[in-house]
Amino acid sequence: MPSDPAKLPKSERLRALLPDIWALVRPRRGLLAFGMVLMAINRVSGLVLPASTKYLVDDIIGRRHYYLLRPLILTVVGATLIQGITSFGLTQLLSKAAQRLIAELRRKVQEHVGRLPVSYYDSNKSGMLVSRIMSDVEGVRNLIGTGLVEFVGGLLTAVLALAVLLRLSPPMTGVALGAIVVFSLALGKAFGVMRPIFRERGKINAEVTGRLTESLGGVRVVKGYHAEAAEAEVFSGGVQRLLDNVMKSLTSTSLMSFAATIMMGVLGALVMYLGARQMMAHTLTLGQFFTFTMFLAFLIGPVFQIVGIGTQISEALAGLERTREVMRERPEDEDPRRRVSAGRIRGEVVFDHVTFSYDAGKTVLHDVSFRSAPDTVTALVGASGSGKSTIIGLIAAFYTPREGAIFVDGVDLSTIRLDSYRMQLGVVLQDTFLFDGTIRENVAFSRPHATEEQIREACRIARVDEFAESFEKSYDTVVGERGVKLSGGQRQRVSIARAILADPAILILDEATSSLDSESEALIQEGLSYLMRGRTTFVIAHRLSTIRRADQILVVEGGRIVERGQHESLYGLGGRYYDLYTRQHGVQTNLFLAPGEGREQPGLAEEPAGAGAPAAAGNPLSNAVRLIRG
C-alpha cells in the first residue's frame, strides 16, 4: 500500500477518513438529527407553492372554483412562513455549531502540534503548520454545518419531486431522469479530478505562507542585503503556482456549469415538446404541465446544488486529509517508555556511549561519554558544527540517542516523563526569543502562575528592573515581535529573569553572552552568577576566557570529545584546546577556524599576551563563575 495517502485510490482514502468524520459527527449527532428534521419540514413546505399551481390553473381558473382561492393563498402563505422559520433555525443552529467545531479543531490541532518532537519542526516549515491549524480545518463546516444538511435536503427534495413527476407524466420523467443520470456520471469523474487539485492547493498555500512568514520575520536581514526584489520574486513564483492551481479548479467547475447549462437547455426543449404533444392528446392538462415544469426544477436543482456543495465537501475532505496527516504524528510525551516521574532533580547528568544522528546514515555524535556532577559547570568548546548544540539538545530531551543512554540522577532520560523533567530545566540562548507581549508576560512564561512578588524578585536579580521601571508602562511595556523594541542586553536580561523564575535544577547557557558588548555583559554578570549557583550548568561560549574556571571542559570535534579536563591541564597538553586558546592572545580571531586558518572575526574578547595568561580580570562570566566557586 502506498505510504502517501494522496496516492491511495479514492475509495480507500474516503474509507480511511470515515473514522475521523464519525469522530466529528458523533458528539453532534443529536444536533444533526434535529437539523435533518428541520430540513425535511423546510423542504416539504417549499413544495407547497409549486403544487398549488395545478389547482390554481385547472380548478380555480379553469373550472371557476373561486371559493378555493382564499384557502389556497392561506396555505401557500403558511407554508412559506414555515419555510422561512425553519431556514432561519437551520442557519442559526448548524452554522454556529460548525464555527464552534472549527474553533475546537484549531485548539485541538494546535495542542497536538505543540506536543510534537523538535525533529518534526526541523523538517516542517512553521508556515505549513500555521496553514494546517488555521486553514485546513475551515472546510469541515461543510461536513457539520449547513453544507451537508443542504446536500441531504436537496436529495430529499429530489425524491419528493420525482414521486410527483412520475404521477404527472411518466414519459417526460423518464427523459429527465436519463439526462440527470448522464450528468451525474460526468460529475463523478469531475470530482475525481478536482479533489487532488484541492489537496495540492493546500500544500502550495502552506509553502507560500511559510516563506512569507520567514521573509517578514527576517525583514532586517532582507533589507540589510537589499534582497527585497529577490524575496518578491520568490513570493511571486509561489503565488503563480497557487494561481495555476486555482485556474485548474475553476476550469473544472466552469466545465461542470457548462455541461449543466447545456443539459438544462436540451431537457427544457424535450419537456416542452413532449408536454405539448400530451396536451394536444388531452392526456395532460395545462395545470399539470405547469406543475410538472416547476417540480422538474426541484428535481434538477439538487443536481446543480451538488456542483457547489460537492466541491465544498471535496475541499473539506482534502483539508481533513491534511489535518489527519498531522494528527497521526505521535507526540513526544506519548512515548510508552516515558513513565518515570523525575521528582526533584539533583542534577547529575551522565552520557554513556551516546551516538546520535538526525538523518539515517549521517552520524553527528560518536560514542560520547562524560559525567557532570550536581552543582558543577561543564563547558563545551569546539568548531561550529562539531556537535556542541546537539549535546545540548540531547540534555534538553529534544532528541533521544540512537545508541547509548543519557542518565539524570541515575535514571535513563528516555524513560522520564518530559513534563516532570523540563519543568526543572532552564535555557538561556544567544538568540533570545521573546514573545510579542509585555515584559511581565515574557518573564512569567517559565512559571505562568508565579506571583507578582516572585516576578519582581527575578527581575531585580537579573537587573531587568533597571530599564523596565524607566518605561512609561513599566513591566507592562510591550516588547514587540521577538523583543525588537529592546536592546540585545535588555532581551538577554529578560531571558535570564525568566530562567531565574523557573528555578531550574539543570541550566543551559548556549553562548548566552557572546553577542553582547562589554557594558551589557557586565550588567548581567550578577544575574548569571545567581542563576548558576547550586545548579548543574552546561555552557557553550565563544570566549574561552569565560569558561577557564569551569569544573570540566569538553573539547568537541567531529562529533567526538577529543579532550576533557580543566583549563590548566588542557592547556598543558598543547593539543586542540591549547590551539583554540592561544589563537585569542593579542588578536581578535575566530576561535573555531580549522588549524592553519587565520581569518579575523571581530567581536571576540582580547586576551593578555603570554602562554597560560590568566583570564581577563574584568570578564563578567568568568567573574560570575569565580563568585560561585568561592
Tens digit of pLDDT for each residue in 122-137?
A: 777 776 777 777 777 7
Single-letter amino acid, residue 278: Q
Q: Identify whether 474 is part of a domain.
A: no
pLDDT at 600: 35
pLDDT reported for residue 471: 86
| Whether 385 and 269 share a structural domain | no
The pLDDT score that the predictor gives to residue 81 is 92
CB 428 within 8 A of CB 527: no
Which segment of 5-19, 118-132, 533-547, 591-605 scores lowest on mean pLDDT?
A: 591-605
Instruction: Let me know whether 293 and 214 are in one domain.
Output: yes
pLDDT for res 304: 65
Q: How far is residue 127's CA from residue 210's CA, in Å, rounded to a whole number?
A: 3
What pLDDT is stored for residue 407 in this prediction?
A: 94
Cell numbers 540562548: residue: 429
8 or 151, greater pLDDT: 151
Q: Do 316 and 257 share a domain, yes or no? A: yes
Please report whether residue 464 resides in a domain: no
Is 204 in the same domain as 317? Answer: yes
Q: Which residue has the higher pLDDT, 82 or 517?
A: 82
- 300 and 356 belong to one structural domain: no
**Per-residue pLDDT for 625 more than 90?**
no
Report the percent of the chain where pLDDT is more than 70: 79
What local confidence, expressed as pLDDT, does residue 620 receive? 40
pLDDT digits (tens, 9 = 90+) for 171-222: 888 888 887 777 777 776 776 677 678 778 877 877 787 777 767 766 666 6
Q: Give the DSSP H/E element, type plus range, for residue 507.
A: strand 506-510
- The CA-to-CA distance between both ends of the chain, in Å, stands at 65
Q: Are residues 149 and 27 in the same domain?
A: yes
Cα separation, 459 vs 451, in Å, equals 13
- The predicted-structure confidence for 48-63, as pLDDT tens digits, reads as follows 877 787 777 777 777 7
Three-state SS annotation for 150-164 = HHHHHHHHHHHHHHH
The grid coordinates listed for 478 are 510591550
The verdict on residue 118 lying in a domain is yes
Question: What is the pLDDT at residue 544?
Answer: 67
Task: State the pLDDT at residue 546.
Answer: 63
Answer whether residue 457 is part of any domain: no
Confidence of residue 41 (pLDDT cuts 50, 70, 90): confident
Maximum CA pair distance of the chain? 122
Q: Are residues 576 and 519 in the same domain?
A: yes
Angle at 319 between CA 314 and CA 325, to 5 degrees: 130
Residues 279 and 386 grouped into a single domain: no
64 vs 518: which has the higher pLDDT: 64
Distance CA 119, CA 359 (A): 10
For 558-616, the pLDDT digits (tens) are 889 999 998 888 888 888 888 888 876 533 333 333 333 333 333 333 333 333 333 33
Residue 217 lies in a domain: yes
pLDDT of the residue at 525: 65
Q: Mean pLDDT over residues 247-251, rounded?
A: 81
Cell 460529475 belongs to residue: 187
- For residue 519, the one-letter residue type is E
Q: Residue 619 — pLDDT band, cuts 50, 70, 90?
A: very low
- In this prediction, residue 104 carries a pLDDT of 82
Residue 355, domain CATH: 3.40.50.300
Same domain for 151 and 237, yes or no, is yes
Residue 128 burial by Cβ neighbours in a 10 Å radius (0-12, 13-18, 19+): buried
Q: Give CA–CA dist 381/479, Å, rounded.
A: 33
- pLDDT of 423 higher than 60: yes
- What's the chain's average pLDDT? 77
Co-location of 355 and 315 in the same domain: no
Q: Residue 541: is its pLDDT beyond 80?
A: no
Given 330, 362, 384, which residue is the final one in a domain? 330
Total of domains in the chain: 2
Q: Residues 306, 365: one domain?
A: no
Range of the domain at 578: 349-424+504-629
Average pLDDT on 264-286 reads 83
Looking at per-residue pLDDT, the higher value among 292 and 94 belongs to 292
Taking only the tens place, the pLDDT of each residue in 428-447 is 876 677 887 888 888 988 88
Confidence check: pLDDT of 117 > 80? yes
Q: How many CA atoms lie within 13 A of 236 on its CB side?
A: 6
Given 274, 302, 330, the domain boundary residue is 330
Q: Which CATH number belongs to the domain containing residue 35 in this structure? A: 1.20.1560.10
Query: How confident is the model at residue 65, as a pLDDT?
Result: 81
Q: Is residue 439 part of a domain?
A: no
Question: Looking at the structure, do residues 413 and 560 belong to the same domain, yes or no?
Answer: yes
Sign of the dihedral defined by the CA atoms of residues 26, 27, 32, 33, in that order: positive
Is residue 264 in a domain? Answer: yes
Q: Is the pLDDT assigned to residue 317 strictly greater than 60? A: yes
Question: Nearest to residue 435, comparing CAs of 476, 467, 475, 480?
Answer: 480
Model pLDDT for residues 366-405, shown as the tens digit of each residue: 999 999 999 899 999 888 888 888 899 899 888 888 899 9
- pTM for the whole thing? 0.63
Q: What is the mean pLDDT of residues 292-296?
A: 82
End residue of a domain, out of 330, 359, 377: 330
What confidence score (pLDDT) does residue 148 get?
65
In a domain, 239, yes or no: yes
Separation of alpha carbons 437 and 427, rounded Å: 20
Beta bridge partners of 585: 607
Confidence bin at 627 (pLDDT 50/70/90): very low
Average the pLDDT over each of 73-87, 194-208, 494-508, 592-606 and give the range with the smallest value.
592-606
| Assigned C-alpha cell, 143 | 461536513
Query: What is residue 131's predicted lDDT score, i.e. its pLDDT?
Result: 72
Asked whether the predicted pLDDT for residue 253 surpasses 80, the reply is no
